[in-house]
């Protein structure tokens, strides 16, 4: 066989193998794109399902709170959440645009149908409450029909998440398998190309082929091991060797591009995984500083080139205070006026750079030449600010991550809003709104907890209990009006809080009655504190709306759990001592120990 024939055949085989390897690399890259699409579809659909469930639960809670308390604020929140739920339902109906399958669309249709039925039940209950049928409204909202619909909604959402996880997981696994197989095929083709070249080297002329191939063999071997750092020499000849050199150069460039794309894909997947981990941690946070700690731990891992800080505004919206920071100067501003940040002014992300393409935010002017401020907004309220500053000297890094940073800002805002909402609901549940003291429910829970401490047979910790009643309180309401009575209650509550301080806990027991629990305080010391409360109240002259209310006095009953008595009876005994104090003329303190006890009382 002639050398020219061998050379031509080798050339044809080389072109074929090179083309196939290029096709394999391109197909592998497309598989990587398919992986990214699967992850994006998974995130979008699971977030949609979770938000539908969360908003439905929040709407139910607000409807129940409204028919239980009659507070218009709960009705306003109910209507606002209902509008957001409608928006999400519209998005669910168009979930096919997000990549949902037909089966998933059917399940979403069922979920939205259940949500609509819940809405109808809850709206009917609200209308019944407005019409004066409060009992009917409560029976509807806490009835079996509403509960079964809610259970069905939770189950359908869970099935939807599982369905999305299963489908996108299979798609992602399939794309990964194809990418691995295509990469293997590309490497096999590359190795085959090297073998062909080595075989031709034996038959061609040394002057025209041997020396160039000797050089190219080393290059091909390195490329076969994916060492794309090797340099391919430029050969200006127009013969087969020149074409081969050009093909190898293209292959190397393709390999470099594949490595870059693989590195970008790995970085992107790692970034998304860290973001998901951060979001999961934020959902488990109990306080805003915990959110700041989670953000401060994960964001430096996700964006090493960026420093940043988390700021939260106060309730009066007059100050924004830093609750966490990372990779920024220690002397950076700790708090500032919201008007100093253009992001908070505009309600949109604002990017300040050293080129002064736009107006600058003053609160982080010294942190970096490139600063991005993302306002934290949720449920129509601006809660704070998430600021990012470039610390790598590459201002383009912020623009590169801007979409991710905006998504993180939205999730941080939702986490902060949920915590603040939970804190407000907790305060409403355990605090008396007029005096700010803990309510009777809190008192019952505290006594139950205290009484439960002896479950293991250990002795109960010492506890002293006051029950305090304002003498002739009805006179203030009848003579001066209920606003004056509220002033008296607030004043007495303030005296209790001031005198008791950190030594115990104060409660508004009900009406004009208060209670105080003093752990680890002797009966003598408790009597001294009670007398201090009584005398301080009696020496205080109150006025309201320009009218003198006169002197306010209180009667106090004291009991403890010493000498064989128990916590379970301490409040009743203190109440009996109070009754004795009022029967003895009021404005006095009577201890349970000063009263005769029936035989066998503990």
Instruction: Tell me the C-alpha distance between 224 and 243, whole Å.
Output: 19
Angle at 436 between CA 55 and CA 545, to 5 degrees: 120
**In sequence order, what are the residues at sequence separation of 6 or more whose Cβ sits closer than 8 angstroms to the Cβ of residue 428?**
none
Report the 10 Å Cβ neighbour count for 313: 20
**In sequence order, what are the residues at sequence separation of 6 or more whose Cβ sits closer than 8 angstroms to the Cβ of residue 24?**
182, 183, 185, 186, 189
Task: Check: CB of residue 332 under 8 Å from CB of residue 339.
Answer: no
Q: Return the bridge partners of 385, or none.
A: 311, 375
Q: Which two tokens stand for residue 163?
A: 């369905």
Angle at 479 between CA 477 and CA 483, to 5 degrees: 40
Instruction: Tell me the C-alpha distance between 440 and 463, whole Å.
Output: 18
β pairing state of 463-470 and 381-390: unpaired
Q: Which of 62, 85, 512, 580 is catalytic?
A: 512
Instruction: Tell me the C-alpha distance between 585 and 499, whole Å.
Output: 24
Instruction: Tell me the C-alpha distance between 353 and 372, whole Å.
Output: 9
Angle at 504 between CA 498 and CA 507, to 5 degrees: 75
- 240 as an active site residue: the answer is no
HEC letters along 526-587: HHHHHHHHHHHHHCCEEEECCEEEEECCEEEEEEECCCCCCHHHHHHHHHHHHHHHHHCCCC
Burial of 54 from C-beta contacts in 10 A (0-12 / 13-18 / 19+): middle
First-to-final CA distance of the chain:
116
465: phi then psi, degrees, rounded to nearest 5: -125, 130
Positions marked catalytic: 512
């Amino acid at each position: 066989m002639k050398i020219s024939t061998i050379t031509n055949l080798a050339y044809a085989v080389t072109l074929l193998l090179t083309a196939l390897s290029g096709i394999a690399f391109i197909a592998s890259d497309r598989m990587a794109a398919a992986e990214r699409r699967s992850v994006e579809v998974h995130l979008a659909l699971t977030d949609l399902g979770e938000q539908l469930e969360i908003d439905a639960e929040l709407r139910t809670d607000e409807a129940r709170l409204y028919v239980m308390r009659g507070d218009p604020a709960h009705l306003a929140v109910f209507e606002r959440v209902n509008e957001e739920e409608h928006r999400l339902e519209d998005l669910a109906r168009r979930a096919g645009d997000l990549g949902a399958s037909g089966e998933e669309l059917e399940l979403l249709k069922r979920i939205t149908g259940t949500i609509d039925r819940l809405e109808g039940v809850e709206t009917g209950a609200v209308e019944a409450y407005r019409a004066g049928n409060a009992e009917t409204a409560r029976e509807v909202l806490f009835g079996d029909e509403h509960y079964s619909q809610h259970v069905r909604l939770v189950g359908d959402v869970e099935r939807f998440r599982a369905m999305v996880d299963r489908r996108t997981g299979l798609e992602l696994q399939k794309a990964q398998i194809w990418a691995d197989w295509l990469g293997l095929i590309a490497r096999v083709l590359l190795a085959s190309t090297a073998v062909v070249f080595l075989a031709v080297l034996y038959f061609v002329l040394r002057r025209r082929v041997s020396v160039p191939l000797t050089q190219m063999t080393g290059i091909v071997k390195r490329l076969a091991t994916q060492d794309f750092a090797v340099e391919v020499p430029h050969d200006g000849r127009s013969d087969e060797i020149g074409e081969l050199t050009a093909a190898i150069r293209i292959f190397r460039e393709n390999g470099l591009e594949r490595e870059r794309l693989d590195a970008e894909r790995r970085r992107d997947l790692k970034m998304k995984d860290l973001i998901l981990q951060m979001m999961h941690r934020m959902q488990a946070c109990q306080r805003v500083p915990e959110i700041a700690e989670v953000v401060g731990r994960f964001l430096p891992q996700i964006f090493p080139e960026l420093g940043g800080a988390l700021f939260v505004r106060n309730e009066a919206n007059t100050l924004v205070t830093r609750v966490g920071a990372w990779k920024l100067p220690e002397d950076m501003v700790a708090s500032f006026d919201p008007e100093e940040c253009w992001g908070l002014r505009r309600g949109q992300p604002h990017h300040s750079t050293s080129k002064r393409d736009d107006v600058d935010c003053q609160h982080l002017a010294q942190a970096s030449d490139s600063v991005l401020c993302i306002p934290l907004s949720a449920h129509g309220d601006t809660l704070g600010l998430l600021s990012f500053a470039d610390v790598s000297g590459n201002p383009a890094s912020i623009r590169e991550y801007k979409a991710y940073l905006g998504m993180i800002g939205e999730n941080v805002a939702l986490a902060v809003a949920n915590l603040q909402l939970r804190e407000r609901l907790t305060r409403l549940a355990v605090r008396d709104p007029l005096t700010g003291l803990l309510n009777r429910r809190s008192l019952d829970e505290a006594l139950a907890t205290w009484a439960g401490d002896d479950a293991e047979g250990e002795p109960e910790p010492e506890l002293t209990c006051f029950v305090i009643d304002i003498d002739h309180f009805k006179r203030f309401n009848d003579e001066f009006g209920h606003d004056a009575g509220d002033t008296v209650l607030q004043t007495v509550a303030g005296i209790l809080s001031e005198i008791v301080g950190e030594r115990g806990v104060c409660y508004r027991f009900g009406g004009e009655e208060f209670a105080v629990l003093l752990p680890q305080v002797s009966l003598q010391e408790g009597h001294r504190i009670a007398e201090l409360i009584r005398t301080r109240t009696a020496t205080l002259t109150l006025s309201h709306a320009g009218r003198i209310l006169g002197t306010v006095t209180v009667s106090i009953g004291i009991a403890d759990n010493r000498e064989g008595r128990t916590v379970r009876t301490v409040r009743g005994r203190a109440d009996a001592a109070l009754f004795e104090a009022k029967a003895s003329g009021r404005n006095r303190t009577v201890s349970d120990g000063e009263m005769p006890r029936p035989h066998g009382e503990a």
